A and B are shown apart, each in its own frame.
Chain A
Amino acid sequence: MPIAADNNSKFSAYAHPKRLVSTVWLAEQLSAGATSDGSLVVVESDEDVLLYETGHIPGSVKIDWHTDLNDDVTRDYVDPATFAALAAAKGISRTSTVVIYGDKSNWWAAYALWVFTLFGHEDVRLLDGGRDKWIAEGRELSTETTVVPAPGTYPVPERHDEPIRAFKDDVLAHAGNPLIDVRSPEEYSGQRTHMPAYPEEGALRGGHIPTAASIPWAKAAAEDGTYRSREELEALYLGEAGLKPGDDVVAYCRIGERSSHTWFALKYLLGFESVRNYDGSWTEWGNAVRVPIAKGAERGSWPASA
């Protein structure tokens, strides 16, 4: 049984308001005992693999973007059977309402949500503002190990990548359609190939995919880590990036995590039907043989032969 949506007024302006919940809503659901029977499962997904252990929302479970959701031999996400086993072990059933939150304005939480969506999990939502907002409001944290009330019932799902995931060849075929590059301006221009103060992941070339608009992911987030209002998001993506309603959009970053945050904004908050995340992103494109790039602050253009 799906849990009722959070009907606050900020959310109701979004295209799919039920994809977000507020800290107030979550606190009420927790008090009402919604997590006691697995109808609601709260998932924390952070950049730091040990952050959950230092204190988490009471009753929440941890899913790590790297060690739980990635297959370590194929550079792909886990297979459907592994995903089903993971979900069941965390107390998640196919019909559960899953609310995901995390550090850094939900950047990794959005990534986990996107992976849940690859497996067609229907009711998966983000906690607006994530971990930082919950803590800033002085809400309860727990270091106790969460005891899952009962393993979830999760039949092995089918994974449908096509609607929301773009591969390199899809991006080449996408030439002429809008692309959003969500990395820092220095990565976009080619001045650097990784995030400031982050590990060098080894891209041979610096720059961006030709014609991509540069909208760093964090522009979609307010200071408290919540998503900006619909009006502000429209100014950003329809105004600055120049998207038009109905556009087919591909977003990318370095490995696909930051662009999940943007994917969520475009897909659920602004209501673009066709938005794909190119998770190969710059670590693939920057190294790929015979694919063109553009350098500098200008969007550039596709070479005639591409």
Chain B
Amino acid sequence: MPPALAEIVDDFQAIEEPERLQLLLEFSKGLPELPARLTDHPELLEQVVECQSPLFLTIEMEATTGDAPPAVRLYFKAPPEAPTTRGFAGVLHEGLDGLTAQEILAVPDDMPELLGLTRAISPLRMRGMTAMLGRIKRKISAELKTR
């Protein structure tokens, strides 16, 4: 697991259930706005239908200097009235944005379960987060095939 994501997982595991919800709320507030080139082109974003609330995401490959592999940039859009969904997106953004494709593809699919939120938010809602990670990985794999 990438260090930034592992640190987030540790932070969640170090606290009790009610505080985990508060931490998720902090992540929902920290989710960055979309850059203008994407807000003007919503068709470039893809909806994750497994999420209970509307969540749109896309990835971009950013060239790095020298021979290093490109950095994967993650972009999410979710309305303020969907803080749980935004919180999940915030966790993935902080934990994965700017990593390489291989690093992100190596994240275990069941990583969301490690946050210890399943009981506090219900398994149904957890599914959305697992779907979000799955969608990111699928989009990266698809992008790699075109290269």
Mark A residues whose CB is within 8 Å of B. Answer: 47-51, 53-54, 66-67, 72, 103, 196-201
Contact = CB atoms under 8 A, between A and B. Distances in A.
Contacts of A200: 50
B100 interface: no
A51 B83 contact: yes
Interface in B107-130: 119-122, 124-125, 127-128
B28 A50 contact: yes
A54 B52 CA distance: 18
B49 A197 contact: yes
Contacts of B50: 199-200
B4 interface: no
Given A66-B122, A66-B124, A199-B128, A50 B54 contact: no
Interface of B: 21-22, 24-25, 28, 47, 49-54, 80-85, 87, 119-122, 124-125, 127-128, 131
Contact of B81 (A66, A103, A196, A198): A103
B124 A49 contact: no
B127 A50 contact: no
A76 to B, nearest CB: 15
A103 B52 CA distance: 13
A66 B122 CA distance: 7
A254 to B, nearest CB: 11
Q: Mostly helix, strand, loop or mixed at chain A's interface?
A: loop
Contacts of B85: 48
B122 A48 contact: no
Given A49-B125, A50-B87, A53-B83, 20 more contacts: A47-B52, A48-B83, A49-B21, A49-B120, A50-B24, A50-B25, A51-B81, A51-B82, A53-B25, A54-B25, A54-B81, A66-B124, A66-B125, A67-B121, A67-B122, A197-B47, A197-B49, A197-B54, A198-B49, A199-B124
Q: Mostly helix, strand, loop or mixed at chain B's interface?
A: helix
Query: Which one of B49, B51, B128, B131 has the greatest number of beta carbons of chain A within 10 Å?
Result: B49
A293 to B, nearest CB: 24
A47 B121 CA distance: 11
Nearest to A197: B49
Contacts of B87: 50
Contact of B51 (A53, A67, A199): A199
A66 B126 CA distance: 12
A50 B84 contact: yes
Contacts of A199: 49-52, 124, 127-128, 131
8 contacts: A49-B120, A49-B125, A51-B82, A72-B119, A197-B47, A197-B49, A199-B49, A200-B50
Contacts of A48: 52-53, 81-85
A54 B120 CA distance: 17
A220 B75 CA distance: 37
A196 B54 CA distance: 10
Nearest to B83: A50
Given A66-B122, A103-B81, A198-B49, A53 B54 contact: no
B88 to A, nearest CB: 11
A23 B84 CA distance: 26
A54 B29 CA distance: 10
Contacts of A54: 25, 28, 80-81, 83
Question: Which 4 pairs of residues, A with B, have the shortest CB-CB distance?
Answer: A50-B83, A66-B122, A50-B84, A49-B121
Query: Which one of B81, B84, B127 has the greatest number of beta carbons of chain A within 10 Å?
Result: B81
Nearest to B53: A48
Contacts of A196: 49
A198 B47 CA distance: 11
A198 B90 CA distance: 20
